[in-house]
Amino acid sequence: MAGADPGVTRHVAIAGNPNCGKSTIFNALTGLRQKVGNYPGVTVEKKTGRFFGSHGEPMELLDLPGSYSLQVRSPDEAVARDVLLGRLPGTPRPDVIICVVDASNLERNLYLVAQMLELQIPVVVALNMVDVAEKNGAVIDLMALREKLGVPVIPTVATKGGGFIELRQAVSRSPLPPPPVCAQMPIVLEREVMALAKQLPVAPEVARGEALLLLTLHDEALDAITQHDRTIIDATRSAQQRLTASGIDPLSAPVDARYDWIGQVCAAALHKGGAHDATSISDQLDGWLTHRIWGWVAFVGMMALMFFCIFTVAQYPMDWIDAAKTALANWTKAHVPAGDLQSLLADGIIGGVGGVVIFLPQILILFFFLGILEDTGYMARAAFIMDRLMSKVGLHGKSFVPLLSSFACAIPGIMATRTIENRKDRLVTILVAPLMSCSARLPVYVVMIALMLPAASAWEQSGIMLAMYLTGLIAAFVMAWIFKKTLLRGDTPMLLLEMPPYRLPSWRGIAQRMWERGLLFLRRAGTVILALSIVLWALLTFPKPTHSDATPSEALSHSIGGRMGHAIEPLIAPLGYDWKIGIGLVGSFAAREVFVSTMGQVYNIEDADETSEPLREQMRAEKRADGTAVFTPLVCLGLMVFYVLAMQCISTVAIVRRETNSWFWPLFQIAYMTGLAWIGAFVVYQGGRLLGFQ
Amino acid sequence: MNPLLDQLAVAAMVCGAVAFFIVRFLRKRAAGKSCAGGCGCGTSKAAKPGRP
C-alpha cells in the first residue's frame, strides 16, 4: 500500500466531522512537514504531512475534508469518500484511519465512525475535546466505548496537546486488525450488498463498502455516477427494486441500522450529567452576536477592524517591500551595464514580481483574521448574519467574506471561496469577486480624479472615490443575480450551518495557516508571475525602433504592446480613448496599477506614479488632432468606470484558473468583465456627451 | 557588457519564460487531466478509480 513514497511505512488518513479538531491534530502530529495542493480534478485542498510513529517509523498523514457521512453533499465530502474507497488516482487508499470524534457531540459523530468501520480499514478513534464533554456534564466510559466499537479509542485534547503520545502508539501498532462490522444490516439487505459487491470491479476489501453506498443512492445520484459501467448501475437498481418489494427501503434501512447501533453504543458508554456551562456561555454570546441589531454592530465592528489592519498595519511592511524592491532595482541598474538585460532585470522582473509580492502582508493579515474568525467559531455566525442580505441576489451567506476580502485584493478573496460548499455559489462568488475595487485600482483613481477635478476639495475627491467603490459593489451584486438566473442557475441555497461553540483560537494553527498561504503565494510569484513579467516586458520592448535616438514613447509605440494599442484604437475610440490610452490598457492588462507607469512611459515621464505632477500636467495638455483635450472629465470618468469593471489582473486570472480547475471560467471572466467595462465606459462617455457634458 | 552577451541573456530569459508555460501546458496535457494544485501528481485518465 505504501507505494508512492518508498520511505513511508503507512498512509494514515485523518477523518471526522467538521469542527471536531481534525486539523489541530493534523498540525500537531506533522508540525511544518506539510504539503498543500489540490486533489486532481477538483478544487478541494489536499493537505498531507510526514509524521513519525512511536518507533520513529515515517508515515504519511492525509487531512481529509470534514464530512458528516459518506453519503456526500459537497465536493469536500466526495473527496473524503473517494480517498477512503481508493477511488482517487494519485492518492493511495489509507492503511489506517484516525477518526476524530467530538466527545461533546458523541452521538452525531458516531455516524461517520459507523461508516468508517464498514470500510474494512483499521480505525483508531481519537476522542477529542473530552475536556469540553466533561464540562458539559457528559461522562464517557472509555472501556465500554472501546468494547462496543472494537477499535482503539484514545482520549485527546487537541488544543492542549493531550493524548498525542498514545495516539501515535495506537497508529504505530502492528499489525492493526481490520475493525469488526458493527451496525448489523437486515439480512435481505446484507445479501443484496454481498451479491452486488461481487460484481464490482474493485478491490475485495472495498467492495462491501462501495456496494452499500451504491444501494443507498437515489435515482438521480445513480445516473450521475461515472466511475461504474451501466451494468453495475442496472444491477444496483434491480437490487433496490427487490429490496423495496421485500419491504425494505434501501435508502433508509442502512441509516436506521447505523442509528440503532449508535443508540446501543451511547447507552453503554455515554452518561449525560446535568447542566453544562460551556454551551450556556456560547448561547449567551450568541444572544448578542446573532442579535438582529447588536449582531450587525459586532459584525461591522469586526470587519472594520480587519480592514483597518489590512489597510494600515500592512502599509508598513508593504513600504518595506517597496523600498527593498526599489533598492534592488537601483542596485541592478548600478551593477548591470545599461542595455536590455538591465531593463529586463530592473523593470521587468524586479518591477513585475515585486509589484505582486508587495501584497503579501495584506494576504497574511487577512488570513490571520480569517483564522481567528474560523477558530473562535464566529465565522458561522457572520455567515448567518449576512445570509439574509446575500440571499437577495441568490448568494450564500458564506460569500460575504470572499467579497469583502476582495476589497483588499481579489486573490485572497478568491482563495477564501473555498469555504463555500456549493459549486455554483462558489463559481458565482469567484466570477464577481474581482468587481470589488481592490487596492491596485487606487493609483488609477487618484490620477483620474486629479485630472478630472484639479481644484476639487478632499471631500469631493473622496466622494468620487466612494462612488467608484459603490459602482463595483452594485455591479457585483447585479452580475451575481444575473449569473444565478442564467449561467449558474440554481436555487438560492438554504443556509444549513452548524454553530460550533465559541473557543479560544489556536495561535499555532493560525500561524501555520499563514505560513502555508504565504508560501503558496510566494511560490506563485516565483514561477508564474515571474514568467509572465518577463513575457510582458518583452511585449512592451520588442521590436525596437530602427533609429537609436528614439524616445521611450516612440520605442513603446513601436513594440508589440504599442502596436496592440494602435490595433485596438478603433475599438476604444467610441470610449473617447486614443492609441496612447490603448497602450496603457494593454500594458496594464497584467496589473491595473501598471497603467500609471505605462502612461509615464508613453509621455516620457521618468519614475511616474499616481502622485507625479509632471505626468498629470502632460496628460492634461495632451490634445487630439482637432485640438481638443484628450483627458476630458468624461474620458477620465469613463476610464475609472472601465477600471472598476475590467479584469486587468493576470494574477487573478491565474488564481481563478487554479481554483476552478479550468481555463473556461477565467477566460469567460475576462470576456464578461471586459465587455462590461467597455459598455460602462461607453455609456458614461457617449451618454455624458448626449447630455451636453464634455 | 558585450551587446551580444546582453542580447543572448535576454533571449535566454524570454525563451525560458515562454518554455515554462509550454512545458506546464504539455505536462498537463500528457497527464490527460488538468490537475489544479500544480502538485505534479501525474493524474491519468487511464487510471480506473477503485481498481486493485
- Nearest-angstrom CA–CA distance, A106 and A540: 63
The torsion angles phi and psi of A306, rounded to 5 degrees, stand at -60, -45
The answer to whether A11 touches A46, Cβ cutoff 8 Å, is no
A contact residues 505-544, partner B, Cβ 8 Å cutoff: 527, 530-532, 534-535, 538
- Nearest-angstrom CA–CA distance, A278 and A255: 31
**CB spacing of A341 vs B42 below 8 angstroms:** no
**Residue B44, pLDDT above cutoff 50:** no
The answer to whether A197 touches A208, Cβ cutoff 8 Å, is yes
> Quick one: CA dihedral B36, B41, B42, B46, positive or negative?
negative
* Pairing mode of beta strands A270-272, A138-140: antiparallel
Instruction: Classify residue A267 by burial, with Cβ atoms within 10 Å: 0-12, 13-18, 19+.
Output: exposed
Question: CB contact, 8 Å: B6 with chain A?
Answer: yes
Nearest chain B alpha carbon to A335: B1
Determine which of A1, A35, A36, A38 to mutate to test the interface with B (most B C-beta atoms within 10 Å).
Answer: A38
- Nearest-angstrom CA–CA distance, A289 and A501: 13
pLDDT tens digits for range A463-508:
888 889 889 989 999 999 999 889 888 776 666 667 777 888 888 8
Comparing A27-41, A44-58, A82-96, A107-121, which segment has the lowest mean pLDDT? A27-41
* Chain-centroid distance, C-alpha A502: 23
- Nearest-angstrom CA–CA distance, A365 and A426: 23
User: In the prediction, which pLDDT does A402 show?
Assistant: 84
**CB spacing of A41 vs B16 below 8 angstroms:** no
Question: Cα torsion for A430, A436, A437, A438, to the nearest 10°?
Answer: -40
CB atoms closer than 10 angstroms to residue A435: 27
Angle at A631 between CA A628 and CA A634, to 5 degrees: 100
The answer to whether A439 touches A469, Cβ cutoff 8 Å, is no
pLDDT averaged over chain A?
A: 83
**CB spacing of B3 vs A40 below 8 angstroms:** no
**CB spacing of A90 vs B41 below 8 angstroms:** yes
Of A57, A143, A59, A145, the closest CA to residue A109 belongs to A145
Which amino acid is located at A5 in the chain?
D
The domains found in chain A, sorted by start residue, are: 10-172 (3.40.50.300), 187-271 (1.10.287.1770), 531-690 (no CATH)
SS3 per residue for A626-675: CCCECCCHHHHHHHHHHHHHCCCEHHHHHHHHHHHCCCHHHHHHHHHHHH
The answer to whether A84 touches A35, Cβ cutoff 8 Å, is no
A contact residues 31-60, partner B, Cβ 8 Å cutoff: 35, 37-43, 46
Q: 0.90 exceeded by the pTM?
A: no
Helices assigned H by DSSP within A377-500: 378-391, 400-405, 410-415, 423-432, 442-452, 458-485
pLDDT tens digits for range A608-663:
666 667 778 888 888 888 888 889 999 999 999 999 999 988 878 888 887 787 88
ipTM: 0.71
**CB spacing of B51 vs A39 below 8 angstroms:** no
